[in-house]
Amino acid sequence: MTSINQTSIWIKNPLAIFAENSDGGVVIKDQKIIELVPLGGSPVSSFDEIYDASDSVVLPGLINTHHHFYQTLTRAYPEALNKELFPWLKSLYKVWAHIQPEMLAVSTELALSELLLSGCTTASDHHYLFPSQLENAIDIQAEEAQKLGMRVVLTRGSMSLGEKDGGLPPQSVVQTKEQILSDSERLIKTYHDSQEGAMTQIALAPCSPFSVTTDLMIETAALAQHYDVRLHTHLAETIDEENFCLEKFGLRTVDYLESVGWLSDRTWLAHGIHFNKEEIKKLGQSGVGICHCPSSNMMLASGICHSLELEEAGSIIGLGVDGSASNDGSNMIAELRQAMYLQRLRYGASKITHQKAYDWATKGSAALLGRNDIGEISIGKQADMALFKLDELRFSGSHDSLAALLLCGAQKSDRVMIAGQWKVVDGKIIGKDESELISRHSGAAKKLRQLANA
């Protein structure tokens, strides 16, 4: 796709910026931030172009640490409405089993496009569905991310515990341990980039305790350690999951995680809601991170993450939109607002500030992914930024611009930069025909429903 390239650019005098000592803007050279300009100052560094940001709120690129791109095909799906997690999953597994390669491609393209327009510059996807026709799912996702120019951490998910062995998923979507580990190793060798500024990385992500075997959890952790990649899974999302672990393994979720060698700072967990005090302490001491998914947790009535207790214990907190069948969207700036409001229900308004929500979606999310080159507007970091204008009716009368983005409900970025290149300009993805994408994607969703109901 085409993009607008600059050798160096001064993003000048922003209306507001979520960074220290940079009220006069930032200077970008190639793909990095090389200078922070104080209020009223001018750059010491040379620059080729100026972008006047005087009507823009500038944020570090938002980082989404848990998603299921394929689920954009089953938003507001009739058979899954008004259900909690387990019955919701069982109603959708039989639909998702029919996803074809071209459907995954367009669902990935749409999810990434939707995220990008909401100010997201890095996204992690948890893909765990590998029916026979979809064995190269991660390869498809990697190609779509490269076309769009988004940073991604693609997690090689897995399900090996089907219904006949006491698991939740149908047999048509599970694989053997050998298939899973072999493909995991192939994907790491093919796509994982451990260098600074990496655009594509791989992590290993068995779906959940109720869909994989104990052996697979143990051997996946060993493989991740061998190749120095990260580990991810769903954990403690609902009481049903807790009860499943007690019945199946005789252990609560965190004890089960410890028994399979997953309690380490290599691991980040999606949801992490139903922990007791001892479990929170154990997770924090081990450096296990938690991705908070507020919209999904509200939609499925799963509960509220104990974010502050987890942070106090030593865990890192980041944010994720979760799948578009349990959100039902892929909007990161909207997810920050949800996180702030849901967490205020637990802790009060004074403890959960708008700055806290920004931290979770930037520095916190970057740390969950093991990245120290993104998530902040500071010298030497990758030039990933999201710019928002306050030119809609919803913002009229607002006084604190950074707070207004969340309190007044921002939905869409005006400009987005990844690695020093503009990807979104004037609220549009460069080179992307959104109407054509919607047409292809909605057609794929209809075809999937037809296949599922045949």
Residues facing 358 on adjacent strands:
none
What pLDDT, on the 0 to 100 scale, is given for residue 6?
A: 53
Q: Which of 72, 91, 69 is nearest to 81 (CA)?
A: 91
Find the mean pLDDT for residues 427-452. Answer: 98
Does the pLDDT of residue 4 top 70, yes or no?
no
pLDDT tens per residue, range 22-47: 999 999 999 999 999 999 999 999 99
Find the mean pLDDT for residues 226-230. Answer: 98
Find the mean pLDDT for residues 233-237. Answer: 97
What pLDDT, on the 0 to 100 scale, is given for residue 415?
A: 98
What pLDDT, on the 0 to 100 scale, is given for residue 170?
A: 87
Does the pLDDT of residue 158 top 60, yes or no?
yes
**What's the pTM?**
0.97
- First CA to last CA distance, the chain: 37
Does the pLDDT of residue 452 top 50, yes or no?
yes
Q: Percentage of the chain with pLDDT > 90?
A: 94
Does the pLDDT of residue 243 top 90, yes or no?
yes
Distance CA 205, CA 227 (A): 14
Residue-wise DSSP of 417-442? EETTEEEEETTEETT--HHHHHHHHH
**Structural Rg of the chain based on CA atoms:** 21
Q: List CB contacts of 423: < 8 A, sequence separation 6 or more.
A: 3, 116, 121, 148, 149, 150, 416, 417, 429, 430
Alpha carbon distances (Å) from 380 to 28, 417, 419 = 10, 16, 12
Torsion of the alpha carbons at 294, 300, 303 and 309, rounded to the nearest 10: -30
Torsion of the alpha carbons at 431, 435, 441 and 445, rounded to the nearest 10: 170
Does the pLDDT of residue 1 top 60, yes or no?
no
| CATH code matching the domain that covers 8-60+382-429, chosen among 3.30.420.310, 2.40.30.30, 3.30.200.20, 2.30.40.10 | 2.30.40.10
Placement of tokens 């944010």 in the chain: 319
Does the pLDDT of residue 2 top 70, yes or no?
no
Find the mean pLDDT for residues 365-370. Answer: 98
Q: Which of 298, 305, 250 is nearest to 272 (CA)?
A: 305
CB atoms within 10 A of CB 392: 12
Q: Percentage of the chain with pLDDT > 70?
A: 99
Does the pLDDT of residue 411 top 90, yes or no?
yes
| Span 62-368 CATH architecture | Alpha-Beta Barrel (3.20)
- pLDDT band of residue 168 (cuts 50, 70, 90) is confident
What pLDDT, on the 0 to 100 scale, is given for residue 176?
A: 95
pLDDT tens per residue, range 327-352: 999 999 999 999 999 999 999 999 99
Residues facing 220 on adjacent strands:
none
Say if 8-60+382-429 and 62-368 have the same CATH topology: no
Contact (CB, 8 A) for 161 and 210: yes
Spell out the domain ranges in the chain: 8-60+382-429, 62-368
What pLDDT, on the 0 to 100 scale, is given for residue 165?
A: 86
Range with lowest mean pLDDT among 183-197, 238-252, 363-377: 238-252
pLDDT tens per residue, range 298-323: 999 999 999 999 999 999 999 999 99
- pLDDT band of residue 68 (cuts 50, 70, 90) is very high
Mean pLDDT of the chain: 96
Does the pLDDT of residue 290 top 80, yes or no?
yes
Any idea what the Cα angle at residue 282 is, between residues 368 and 362, rounded to 5°?
20
Does the pLDDT of residue 286 top 70, yes or no?
yes
Contact (CB, 8 A) for 85 and 115: no
